[in-house]
Amino acid sequence: MLSVSNLHATVGETEILKGLSIDVPAGEVHAIMGPNGAGKSTLSYVLTGRPGYEVTSGTVTLDGEDLLPMAPNERAAKGLFLSFQYPLEIPGVPALTFIRTALNAQLKARGEPEIAAPAFLRLARAKAAELKIDFEMLKRALNVGFSGGEKKRMEIFQMAMLSPRFLILDETDSGLDIDALRIVSDGVNALRSPERAMLVITHYQRLLDYIKPDRVHVLAGGRIVASGGPELALELERDGYDKYARAA
Amino acid sequence: MAAVKQTVEHVASLEKYKHGFVTDIEQDFAPKGLNADIVRFISAKKNEPQWMLDWRLDAFERWLAMDEPDWAKVSFPRIDYQDSHYYAAPKEKVGINSLDEVDPDILETYKKLGIPLREQEVLAGVIGSPRYAVDAVFDSVSVVTTFKKELAQVGVIFCSMSEAIREHPELVKQYLGSVVPVSDNYFACLNAAVFSDGSFVYVPPGVRCPMELSTYFRINAENSGQFERTLIIADRQAYVSYLEGCTAPMRDENQLHAAVVELVTMDDAEIKYSTVQNWYPGDPETGKGGIYNFVTKRADCRGDRSKVSWTQVETGSSITWKYPSCILRGEGSSGEFYSIAITNGRQQADTGTKMIHLGANTRSRIISKGISAGKSSNTYRGLVSAHPKAKGARNFTQCDSLLIGKHCAAHTVPYIEARNGHSKFEHEATTTRLSEDQLFYAMQRGLSQEEAVQLLVNGFVKEVLQELPMEFAVEAQKLVAISLEGSVG
């Protein structure tokens, strides 16, 4: 599904990713863990095409299709979704309006018919109920005045509504209490399927108790320095990143 | 800042002004220049009574003694007032009785602009959709006013100002210049001397005007100015909603539009006045051409509990100098000002409002949304004052500015004066830049850059758009998008 090979990327003059390679096959969930400043968020931005993050060499493909020449919205239409570490506030634009505009833009880009208002609202009600989101909140301006936890829940709600094929979760557990973490994780797990894949970026092992990864990678110094099964996350939790940070 | 830069470049490269065409038509002009004879010429063209001519000549005398104001945050070369025509009208326009007699080229012009002048066209619309009556002003004259008969049945007078002077002199004499005095300011005084046409509305006591009224101003002639004069009176417990729209051809020289609008509300009356201003803004690169929009708009809330609400969407003009204001004279009267002012290219806008609280327990509310892009400058200038008798006066002001790109400017200049100890004024102001982060966030969800800018800007101006009558809100929303990034059309 997603294949990243020998990726180098700079922000301004600084090289952050220095030859990163990773393969995430369809149906799998991979976790990326690593110390602060290792390049975790940079990876998520480079994959989604954020301006200012320049790829100097390497390749990124989704189902064999080269993502790098595509604009962020084109990548989104291909099914790439990023749950932001710090979701943005969009004043004056109700959450439902925002999501419906986004969904229709994606459908249009894929040459599919737009979703009609009643069908959209039915879907929104169902997904909101699953994520225990008060439907009234969806009529308010997106993320404006929402708590950290509410914003994260809203990210997962958008994800459920847009139904992407490849999901990137950037520090989705930060700012969540245990109850919210469980709701969010249930939402993410509901999207696991043989056709989808996920990249879960996290600092702590805690999230991986809820979203069980197939593989765990350690990102340090702009490269994947170790890969293993779920037990690797437990080892990191116990021993810290020191060993890997030095190796990088 | 790559995405914003692209947006800015994209904006600059657009041929966005869609109303820039010229109607080729034979016209009557006054000779270029301005003197007492020109004033007499205009008055004679309109078959005005002597009292009106005297009023104009008096205004002209006063104007000669005045100086052009220079306090606004706008700059432009000195205007040569002798280098312009002060009257331009399509030929053969005397005493038109039906639409069939109107020059087909003019009808075609309004059709192109999407303004329904045939009543049946309006009626043929969707069942239940709101209807609105139109007064169409072409350069210096009103060419047609629709639905006059139907309005007359409920006692509403809706006609051109020229007609009102002839047909309803008692009302005109009573109210003209009673809100904006002849020598109020330089441009208002000039208007009083040479005003051409505009709309006149009188809504009698207890009548709720059955449809939206609107005036559509079109400048067509070259080297001419437009000096319209509008007067709206809502008598006791009357209500009227009025909308004006404006466009002009693209020309290299600047054209002056110096209008005066006066509103009067008596006890428990309400006027809702909306403007969608889309004069030609000038060349976005060189700043050449465009309309100088120097306008005086004021409402006198004379009656107790009366109400006036100004809503404006200002997207055009090379320079805008305009402060729709409310004099809150009646006890418990209230004024509202909702504004979206967009500047792009080399446009300059200095606009805002004045809320003068004279009566007790008067209330006012100001919501101003300024958007600057390109190399433009956008200033909000507002005055809120409470006089000693205005005990219990309340005002809430919110001024938000949005910057797009690095070469534009936004300024906020509020004046607040409370001359009694029982008033409550609140002022909130924010300035934000259209953020790269927000754009990326929206694009990650699937929106193109243009759609993202449009969505964010619409979110920014939403509070004001929702004040517009429904059918115009949709138009205005499109206009906002076109002015900023041309994704529509």
Q: What is the pLDDT of residues B358-395, one digit of tens each?
A: 999 999 999 999 988 888 889 999 999 999 999 999 99
Instruction: List all residues 6 or more positions away from B175 whose beta carbon is below 8 Å from its beta carbon.
Output: B231, B233, B262, B264
User: Is A93–B448 a contact, with Cβ atoms under 8 angstroms apart?
Assistant: no
Distance CA B452, CA B465 (A): 18
> pLDDT tier at B14 (50, 70, 90 boundaries)?
very low
Question: Average pLDDT of B141-168?
Answer: 85
Looking at residue B108, the DSSP 8-state letter turns out to be H
Q: Average model confidence (pLDDT) for chain B?
A: 83
Token pair for A151: 């914003």
Is the model more confident about B355 or about B223?
B355
Please tell me which of the candidates A52, A81, A90 has its beta carbon nearest to residue B456.
Answer: A90
**Maximum average pLDDT range among B72-81, B116-125, B321-330:** B321-330
Determine the Cα–Cα distance for residues B372 and B433; give it in Å rounded to an integer: 10
Q: Mind telling me how many Å the CA of A220 is from chain B's nearest CA?
A: 26
Mean pLDDT of chain A: 92
How would DSSP label each residue in B308-375?
EEEEEEE---SEEEE--EEEE-STT-EEEEEEEEEE-TT-EEEEEEEEEE-STT-EEEEEEEEEE-TT
Across the interface, of A71, A88, A158, the residue whose CB is closest to B438 is: A88
Reduce the DSSP state of residue A173 to 3 states and report it.
Answer: coil
Mean pLDDT of the B474-489 span: 60
Q: Can you tell me the mean pLDDT for B25-46?
A: 83
Would an 8 Å CB–CB cutoff place B455 in contact with chain A? yes
* Most confident of the following: B244-248, B306-310, B473-477: B306-310
Please report which confidence band the pLDDT of residue B486 belongs to, taking 50, 70 and 90 as the band edges: very low
Which pLDDT score, from 0 to 100, does residue A248 have? 61
Interface probe for B, chosen from A45, A50, A83, A86 (most Cβ of B below 10 Å), is A50
Query: Which residue does chain B place closest to A141, by CA atoms?
Result: B459
CB B408 within 8 A of CB B375: yes
CATH number, domain containing residue A34: 3.40.50.300
Of B428 and B4, the structure prediction assigns the larger pLDDT to B428
Where is pLDDT greater, at B42 or B21? Answer: B42
Q: CA Rg, chain A, in Å?
A: 18
Provide, as residue numbers in chain A, all residues whose Cβ is less than 8 Å from the Cβ of B455: 90, 93, 98, 101
pLDDT of B213 strictly over 50: yes
Specify burial of residue B397 (Cβ count, 10 A radius: 0-12, 13-18, 19+): buried
Residues 6+ apart with CB under 8 A from B162: B46, B48, B141, B142, B197
Tell me the per-residue pLDDT of A129-163, one tens digit each, with 9 for 90 and over. Answer: 988 889 999 999 999 999 888 999 999 999 999 99
Say whether pLDDT at B306 is over 60.
yes
Which residues of B are less than 8 Å from A82 in CB distance?
444
Q: How far is A237 from chain B (nearest CA, A)?
A: 32
Shortest distance, CA A108 to any CA of chain B (angstroms): 10
- Closest alpha carbon to B337 in B350, B324, B320: B324
* B462/A contact by beta carbon, under 8 A: yes
CA-to-CA distance for B103 and B257, rounded, in angstroms? 24
pLDDT digits (tens, 9 = 90+) for B78-89: 888 888 888 877
Give the gap in angstroms from C-alpha B458 to the nearest C-alpha of chain A.
7
Closest CB from B440, B447, B462 relative to A102: B447
Cβ-contact A222, A16 below 8 angstroms: yes
Confidence of residue B146 (pLDDT cuts 50, 70, 90): confident
Contact state of A92 with B459 under an 8 Å Cβ cutoff: yes
User: Is residue B121 predicted with pLDDT exceeding 60?
Assistant: no
Q: Give residue A242's domain range.
A: 2-247
A76 with B445: Cβ contact below 8 A: yes
Please check whether residue B470 is in contact with residue B129, taking contact to mean a CB–CB distance below 8 angstroms.
no
* CB pair distance less than 8 Å for B446 and A48: no
Q: Among residues A246, A127, A108, A239, which one has the least CA distance to residue A191?
A: A127
* pLDDT category of residue B226 using cuts at 50, 70 and 90: confident
Q: Judge whether residue B6 has pLDDT over 80.
A: no
Q: Which residues pair with B424 in a beta bridge?
A: B394
Residues of chain A in contact with residue B449, where contact means CB-CB under 8 angstroms, are 71, 73
Is the CB of residue B434 less than 8 Å away from at least one CB of chain A? no
Q: What is the ipTM of this complex?
A: 0.96
Please state, for a pLDDT cut of 70, what percent of chain A lies above it.
99
Q: Nearest-CA distance from B466 to chain A in Å?
A: 11
The pLDDT, as a whole number, for residue B487 is 25
- The alpha-carbon gap from B484 to the nearest alpha carbon of chain A, in Å, equals 18
Judged by CB atoms closer than 8 Å, whether chains meet at A88 and B441 is answered as yes
Instruction: Please say if the pLDDT value at position B250 is more than 80.
Output: no
Which chain B residues touch A109 with a CB distance below 8 Å?
446
Residue A164 pLDDT exceeds 70:
yes
Question: Are B184 and B296 in contact, with CB atoms under 8 Å apart?
Answer: yes
In tens, the pLDDT along A172-205 reads 888 888 888 898 899 899 999 999 999 999 988 8
> What pLDDT sits at residue B471?
67
Which residues of chain B lie closer than 8 angstroms to A101, CB-CB? 447, 451, 455
Alpha-carbon distance values, A207 to A182, A191, A202, A215 (Å): 9, 16, 8, 14
A103 alpha carbon, distance to own chain's centre: 17
Question: CB distance from B430 to chain A under 8 Å?
Answer: no
| Distance of alpha carbon A108 from alpha carbon A101, whole angstroms | 10
The CA-based diameter of chain A, rounded to the nearest angstrom, is 56
Question: Is the pLDDT confidence value at B335 over 60?
Answer: yes
Look at B459 and A84 and tell me if their CB atoms are within 8 Å. Answer: no
| CA atoms in the 13 A half-sphere facing the CB of B87 | 22
Count of structural domains, chain A: 1
Give the model confidence (pLDDT) of B167-207 as tens digits.
999 999 999 999 999 989 999 999 999 998 888 999 999 99
Q: What is the pLDDT of residue B3?
A: 45
pLDDT of residue B373: 86
Instruction: Say whether A82 and B456 touch across the interface (CB within 8 A).
Output: no
> Which pairs from B73-77 meet CB under 8 Å and 24+ separation?
B73/B348, B73/B350, B73/B377, B73/B379, B73/B381, B73/B411, B73/B413, B74/B319, B74/B321, B74/B348, B74/B349, B74/B350, B74/B377, B74/B379, B75/B348, B76/B254, B76/B292, B76/B318, B76/B319, B76/B348
- Say what percent of chain B tops pLDDT 70: 81
CA B391 to chain centre: 32
Rounded CA-CA distance B222/B265 in Å is: 37
Q: What is the pLDDT of residue B126?
A: 38
In sequence order, the 6+-apart residues with CB closer than 8 A to the CB of B203 are: B155, B156, B209, B233, B234, B235, B238, B239, B240, B269
Q: How confident is the model at residue A110 (pLDDT cuts 50, 70, 90)?
A: very high
Mean pLDDT within B106-117? 67
CB B111 within 8 A of CB B136: no
- The pLDDT score that the predictor gives to residue B430 is 87
Task: Choose the weakest-confidence range: A219-228, B158-167, B222-231.
Answer: B222-231
Q: Tell me, yes or no, if B398 comes closer than 8 A to chain A by beta carbon.
A: no
Round to whole Å and give the CA distance between B292 and B460: 27
pLDDT over 60 at B488, yes or no: no
> Predicted confidence band at B325 (pLDDT cuts at 50, 70, 90)?
very high
- B277 touches B342 (CB < 8 A): no
Most confident stretch, B32-36, B132-136, B206-210, B254-258: B206-210
Q: Is B463 on the interface with A (CB under 8 A)?
A: yes
User: What pLDDT is stored for residue B394 in this prediction?
Assistant: 96
Identify the pLDDT of residue A69: 96
Element (H, E) at B9: helix B2-13
Q: Count CA atoms within 13 Å of residue B143 on its CB side.
A: 29
Name the pLDDT band for B271 (thresholds 50, 70, 90).
Answer: very high
Residue type, B181: P
Nearest CA-CA partner of A236 in A208, A205, A206, A211: A205
- Taking residues A218-226, report their average pLDDT: 92
Mutation pick from B340, B436, B440 vs chain A, by most beta carbons of A within 10 Å, is B440
Domain boundaries, chain B: 2-483
Could you tell me if B435 lies within 8 Å of chain A, comparing CB atoms? Answer: yes
The answer, yes or no, to whether residue B260 has pLDDT greater than 80, is yes
* Mean pLDDT on B300-317: 92
In chain A, the DSSP E strands lie at 2-11, 14-24, 29-33, 53-62, 65-66, 80-83, 166-170, 197-202, 215-220, 223-228
pLDDT at B438 over 80: yes
Question: Could you tell me which residue, A164 or B449, shows the higher pLDDT?
Answer: A164
Q: Does B3 touch chain A (CB under 8 A)?
A: yes
User: In angstroms, rounded to a whole number, what is the distance separating the alpha carbons of residues B277 and B352?
Assistant: 15
- Give the model's confidence band at B100: pLDDT under 50 very low, under 70 low, under 90 confident, else very high: low
Contact A98 B438 (CB under 8 A): no
Say how many C-beta atoms besides its own lie within 10 A of residue B373's C-beta: 29
Residue B385, both tokens = 């004052």
Residue B465: closest CA among chain A residues belongs to which residue?
Answer: A92
CB B411 within 8 A of CB B73: yes
- Residue B396: name the closest of B370, B423, B377 by CA: B423
Q: Note whether A12 contacts B: Cβ–Cβ < 8 A.
A: no
B254 vs B440, residue with greater confidence? B440
Query: Which of B95-109, B157-171, B219-233 holds the top average pLDDT?
Result: B157-171
Q: Backbone dihedral region of A145: left (phi > 0), alpha (psi from -120 to 50 degrees) or beta?
A: left
